[in-house]
Structure formats: structure tokens, C-alpha cells
Amino acid sequence: MSQALEILNDIATNTLRNAASLPFRDSVVTEWQGLGFQIGGVRLVAHVSEVAELMLVPKITHLPGVKKWVLGMANVRGRLVPIIDMHRFLGISNTCTRLLRRVIVVDSGEMTVGLVVEQSLGMQHFLLENYEQGLPDGLDKMHSHLDGAYRHGGRIFYLAKLKALISDRCFMDVSD
């Protein structure tokens, strides 16, 4: 038994003696991360704190007397959530197939809303230094809820403020 412990101690000692040290990082790079998605062919990104959930388009119960961009209500984990077609809301056409569509669930504390987008582009990571001012063409109705953009790999992602969007008076006016 003691011989086995000696062998293990020798292995541990030799491992520590021969181990390469970790590389030293000269500077800390600050990153911004969010969920990328697409509306009308435009790449957008929302801060991770604004997205409660990302899901496939659920079964939707249609509602009478609401605007065409309100698709209806869906049961999302026991909560009734209004589902909004962002393309209809913005008055633009969809550029992807129905199979790629996803719902971004936004919970502002006061309300929870599901936003149907063309597709999810997954988690995106940007260097803070790659932030720039600018607004996309084609999403004019959403410009007041966009705050600049991040460039990454030759692509530009416009920063969407989803909680501000769902609290907007125009967004709240759903009756037809």
C-alpha cells in the first residue's frame, strides 16, 4: 500500500515539475455578447439579458380583432404569451423559409412577448472596440429601437433593444 502511494507521489511531483506554465495574457479584451437573429435579411443582435428564451414557433391560437402582425397566443411553459410576426409589424417581407423561423421570447417584467424572426444566428461575441454608429436600410420602423452596430468577420450586426421595443406605444396598440 505504501509503495503505491510513493509511486503516486512521484508521478504527481514529476508532473508538476515538467508541466508547461499557462500562457500570460498581456491585456484583457472586453467582449460584448448577444443573440444574433435576422429580420428582412438584416442581421441584428440583442443583449443576452434581453432574451428569456429562443424557441421554435409554437402552436398558436389566433385572436379575433387584433392587427395582422399579432399571430395570436401560445402556451410557453405554462404562460400565455402573445406571438408577434416582426416582418408584418415592420411591413417588410420575409427572406427565409418557414422552417428557419424562430421565436425570441422577451420578458420585460411587466409583460412577456414572443417575436417571430427569420432565423436565429446563435450567440455572437464582439470586441467592444468594434462598436460603431449606424442604422440599417429597410427597418425604418425599428430605428428608434436600434443602437448602433458591431462588426465581426466582415459582417455587421445592428444592436436591437427588444425590451424598449415591446414597451413602445406603437407595439402595444394591437387592436384592429
Task: Evaluate the CA torsion angle 75, 77, 80, 83 in order and state its sign.
Answer: negative
Percentage, residues of the chain above pLDDT 70: 96
Indicate the pLDDT class of residue 96, thresholds 50, 70 and 90.
confident
List Cβ neighbours of 85 (8 Å cut-off, separation of 6 or more).
68, 69, 70, 71, 116
pLDDT of residue 37: 97
pLDDT of residue 83: 97
> Domains, the chain, ranges and CATH?
30-172 (2.40.50.180)
Torsion of CA 126, 129, 134, 137, to 10 degrees: -30
- Give residue-wise pLDDT tens across range 128-163: 999 999 999 888 888 999 999 999 888 999 999 999
22 versus 131: the higher-pLDDT residue is: 131
Across the chain, mean pLDDT equals 91
pTM over 0.75: yes
- Give residue-wise pLDDT tens across range 30-50: 889 999 999 999 999 999 999
